[in-house]
Structures are given as structure tokens and as C-alpha cells.
């Protein structure tokens, strides 16, 4: 069973092919990715219309590249999967339109996949794949959630952000420091030269007793800190960017302090979720899962607690087509692919820009 996966929910066009034959974990046969970062950088963030147009330009050449990598013809595909949501409506429509057209032309079924389910299952493509059940920390640009995962489609929300996502906290803080888009990797790089204890920043909801997150206050604290430092400089506040008067060391110290605050909250809440669940396995997924400090501190905390921790391969942490093809393959294997709400039947152009993971109604199969 060969499944082609197409990801186009935001600013990466990803296409991949997996072999989901039998019951073994699907095997990646080829994948290709085009990042739109360079295009959006000039605007300081994703421009939805430009994103959609670029997905249109990239998706078929990437599909050809994937098939060439796998050494297989288009006709060998057994099913086509695409990201149905959540994401930018226009961008999602490109993936769904192309997937439906391919499915129709080849007379193959088409599956709409939940983007977060793709992230959640992406560690199954790593060299150290997890086993069910596990606790998942899902940290991306738009989501921060802790989940109990008992199997494919069996997800119980344990806690989530009540305002900004962890990736958003990285991105917004990076913007305040005048760093480029996307801010997370840029902030993490600068933080390497900084002192994480230089500035005392809040650890929101750290002692709230539940498993929810809140990162909006952190952004305000960073803004206050940057303003304070800018006004204290002899040349006074900047006319162009707020952070201009700061020395490189001050910026690096702020970056290190922000990163330390976000990571401490993510690590402590993840460990609390593991304790609460009684499970001994943690899976980390989503773009922020690429953060080196987060991995280092989670590894240390998990080792101390006797908990196994699993990550996606670094290049599969951020958006990609492999996780969409994988999630579709695992659904087919679990007999869940055609369940209502999970997959589109026929060749309709239906996308779900807003789509809570909890709305995947899959418990019936268990």
C-alpha cells in the first residue's frame, strides 16, 4: 500500500511517499520539501496569498522529485493523502485540490489528514520509534498541547495553552529583538551566546496545578525588558527598531532568558503530565521540538525519572509531507482511514482551517 502525502497548511510545501503495507510501521520511500521562508522573510511573517500561490508552483515538481527518489511511477500510488486542516484556508485548498485531482485521475482514494496528528505520529519515522501508549508534548507555531496517546486516533487532551503557543512565544520574542522570521531558530542561535539567568522572566502557570500553558504574559515581559534596556542606553530608544540600541550581548542575554523560561515551563509540565498519566514514555513533536535546549533538558529530566523520550528526526520536526503520508498510512493500517470526520470521501474540496484534534472521532474503533 503506497501512500502519497501532501502538506500545504502553511509555509512549507511537502510531498512524501510511504509504504504502509502489512502492519509494520510505514516506511518512508521518498520525500521532498520546499520552504517559503525566504519569500515571507521580507514581510516578517507568512503572507497567506503568497503562500497559496507558491504551493501551486511547487507541489507537482516536488511530487515528481519524490517519485524519482523512490524509483516508482505515478500509477503505483494506492492512495493520496493531504493536510485537511488546521491551517491557512487557501494554502490547504492547494493540497486538497491537487490530491483530489490526482486521486480522480488515478481512480484512487483520497484521505484528508489532521496536521497535528501528522506531527504527533512523526516520531514513528525516527530511528528510535515509540510504542503506544505515551504522553505527547505537541509544540508548534500554533499549538501547545499535552496529550495522552493510546493508539492511532486515540488522543486525550491533558492540557493546552490558554493563549499563545510556545512557538508563538519564540517568534514574538524574536520579533521584539529584531530577529528574522521564523523567530524560533534565530532566537535559539542567539541564545547560545547569552546568559539564561541575566533577566528574570515569568514562568506562567508553572505552579497552577494543572497541565495548561500560558505564554502571552512572557511576550509582554520581554517587551518591558527590551524597552528598559533601550531607554537605558546613552543613545536612547531607537527610531527604527525598538531593540536597535541594545548591544549584541544584551540581545543574546534576553534571548537566552526567554528560551530558558519557555523550556522550563515545557519540561516541568511535560514531566507533570507523565506523572499524572502513570505512563513511562514521552513523545515530543512539532517545530519547537527541534529546540536543542528543550531536548537537552527533557533528556535529563526523563533520564532522572526513568522515562523514555522520543523525538522526530530533526528534519521532520517542522512541517513536512512525510508526517502526512505516515499518518494516513497508519490510519489505513488501523482501519480508521474512512471514518467520518477523519477523511474526506469522494473528491470534495473540503478543508478545515480550524479543526481541534479532539474532534477526530475515533474511539469507536478501539
Using the rule CB under 6 A, is 286 a contact of ligand KG4?
A: yes
User: Which of 318, 327, 337, 342 touches ligand KG4 (CB under 6 A)?
Assistant: 318
Using the rule CB under 6 A, is 142 a contact of ligand KG4?
A: yes
Using the rule CB under 5 A, is 319 a contact of Zn ion?
A: yes
- Which residues partner with 147 through β-bridges? 136, 157
DSSP state of 328: H
The C-alpha atoms of residue 72 and residue 64 are separated, in whole angstroms, by 10
Partner from ligand KG4, Zn ion, none contacting 90, C-beta within 5 to 8 A by type? none
Using the rule CB under 5 A, is 140 a contact of Zn ion?
A: yes
Q: Is 326 helix (H, G, I), strand (E, B) or coil?
A: helix
Least Å distance, CB 11 to Zn ion, is 10
Least Å distance, CB 329 to ligand KG4, is 20
CB of 204 within 8 A of CB of 215?
Answer: yes
Of 115 and 251, which has the nearer Cβ to Zn ion?
115
The C-alpha atoms of residue 141 and residue 81 are separated, in whole angstroms, by 22
Least Å distance, CB 160 to ligand KG4, is 14
Least Å distance, CB 318 to ligand KG4, is 3
Q: What are phi and psi of 244, to 5 degrees?
A: -55, -45
Question: Hey, what's the cell of 32?
Answer: 521532498
Question: Hey, what's the cell of 24?
Answer: 509494520
The C-alpha atoms of residue 275 and residue 87 are separated, in whole angstroms, by 32
The C-alpha atoms of residue 318 and residue 153 are separated, in whole angstroms, by 21
Least Å distance, CB 24 to Zn ion, is 26
List Cβ neighbours of 147 (8 Å cut-off, separation of 6 or more).
Answer: 120, 135, 136, 138, 155, 156, 157, 158, 357
Using the rule CB under 6 A, is 14 a contact of ligand KG4?
A: no
Question: Which residues 251-270 are close enough to bind ligand KG4 by CB under 6 A?
Answer: none
Q: Quick one: angle between helices 216-232 and 166-176, nearest 10?
A: 10
User: Which of 30, 103, 123, 185 touches ligand KG4 (CB under 6 A)?
Assistant: 185
For Zn ion (CB under 5 A), the number of binding residues is: 2
Question: Which residues 163-182 are close enough to bind ligand KG4 by CB under 6 A?
Answer: 167, 170-171, 182
Using the rule CB under 6 A, is 312 a contact of ligand KG4?
A: no
Of 230 and 328, which has the nearer Cβ to Zn ion?
328
CB of 3 within 8 A of CB of 26?
Answer: yes
Task: Return the residue matching grid coordinates 507541489.
Answer: 59
Least Å distance, CB 201 to Zn ion, is 26
User: Which of 152, 211, 283, 288 touches ligand KG4 (CB under 6 A)?
Assistant: 288
Partner from Zn ion, ligand KG4, none contacting 322, C-beta within 5 to 8 A by type? none
The C-alpha atoms of residue 13 and residue 6 are separated, in whole angstroms, by 8
Least Å distance, CB 46 to Zn ion, is 12
Question: Which residues 82-121 are close enough to bind ligand KG4 by CB under 6 A?
Answer: 119
Using the rule CB under 6 A, is 287 a contact of ligand KG4?
A: yes
User: Which of 26, 90, 97, 184 touches ligand KG4 (CB under 6 A)?
Assistant: 184
CB of 147 within 8 A of CB of 155?
Answer: yes
Based on its alpha-carbon atoms, the radius of gyration of the chain, rounded to whole angstroms, reads 21
User: Which of 310, 319, 331, 362 touches ligand KG4 (CB under 6 A)?
Assistant: 319
List Cβ neighbours of 25 (8 Å cut-off, separation of 6 or more).
Answer: 124, 125, 129, 330
Q: Which residues bind Zn ion (CB under 5 A)?
A: 140, 319
Q: Which residues bind ligand KG4 (CB under 6 A)?
A: 10, 119, 140-142, 167, 170-171, 182-185, 188, 286-288, 290-291, 318-319
Amino acid at each position: 500500500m503506497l501512500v502519497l502525502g501532501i502538506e500545504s497548511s502553511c509555509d512549507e510545501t511537502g510531498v512524501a511517499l510511504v509504504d504502509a503495507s502489512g502492519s509494520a510501521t510505514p516506511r518512508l520511500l521518498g520525500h521532498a520539501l520546499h520552504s517559503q521562508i525566504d519569500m515571507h522573510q521580507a514581510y516578517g511573517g507568512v503572507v497567506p496569498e503568497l503562500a497559496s500561490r507558491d504551493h501551486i508552483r511547487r507541489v507537482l515538481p516536488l511530487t515528481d522529485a519524490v517519485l524519482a527518489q523512490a524509483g516508482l511511477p505515478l500509477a503505483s500510488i494506492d492512495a493520496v493523502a493531504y493536510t485537511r486542516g488546521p491551517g491557512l484556508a487557501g494554502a490547504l485548498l492547494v493540497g486538497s485540490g491537487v490530491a483530489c485531482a490526482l486521486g480522480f485521475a488515478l481512480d484512487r482514494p483520497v484521505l484528508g489528514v489532521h496536521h497535528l496528528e501528522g506531527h504527533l505520529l512523526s516520531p514513528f519515522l525516527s530511528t528510535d520509534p515509540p510504542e503506544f501508549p505515551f504522553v505527547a508534548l505537541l509544540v508548534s507555531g500554533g499549538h501547545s498541547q499535552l496529550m495522552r496517546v493510546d493508539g492511532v486516533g486515540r488522543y486525550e487532551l491533558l492540557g493546552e495553552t490558554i493563549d499563545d503557543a510556545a512557538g508563538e512565544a519564540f517568534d514574538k520574542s524574536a520579533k521584539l529583538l529584531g530577529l528574522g522570521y521564523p523567530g524560533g531558530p534565530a532566537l535559539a542561535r542567539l541564545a547560545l551566546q547569552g546568559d539564561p539567568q541575566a533577566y528574570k522572566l515569568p514562568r506562567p502557570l508553572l505552579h497552577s496545578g494543572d497541565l495548561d500553558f500560558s505564554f502571552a504574559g512572557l511576550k509582554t515581559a520581554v517587551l518591558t525588558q527590551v524597552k528598559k534596556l533601550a531607554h537605558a542606553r546613552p543613545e536612547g530608544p531607537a527610531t527604527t527598531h525598538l531593540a536597535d540600541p541594545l548591544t549584541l550581548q544584551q540581545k543574546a542575554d534576553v534571548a537566552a532568558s526567554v528560551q530558558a523560561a519557555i523550556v522550563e515551563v515545557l519540561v516541568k509540565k511535560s514531566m507533570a503530565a507523565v506523572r499524572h498519566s502513570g505512563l513511562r514514555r514521552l513523545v515530543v513533536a512539532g517545530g519547537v521540538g527541534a529546540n536543542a535546549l528543550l531536548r537537552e533538558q527533557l533528556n535529563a529530566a526523563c533520564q532522572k525519572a526513568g522515562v523514555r523520550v522520543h523525538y522526530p528526526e530533526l528534519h521532520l520536526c517542522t512541517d513536512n509531507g512525510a508526517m502526512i503520508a505516515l499518518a494516513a498510512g497508519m490510519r489505513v493500517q488501523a482501519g480508521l482511514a474512512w471514518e467520518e470526520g477523519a477523511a474526506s470521501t469522494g473528491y470534495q474540496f473540503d478543508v478545515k482551517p480550524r479543526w481541534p484534534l479532539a474532534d477526530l472521532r475515533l474511539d469507536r474503533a478501539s
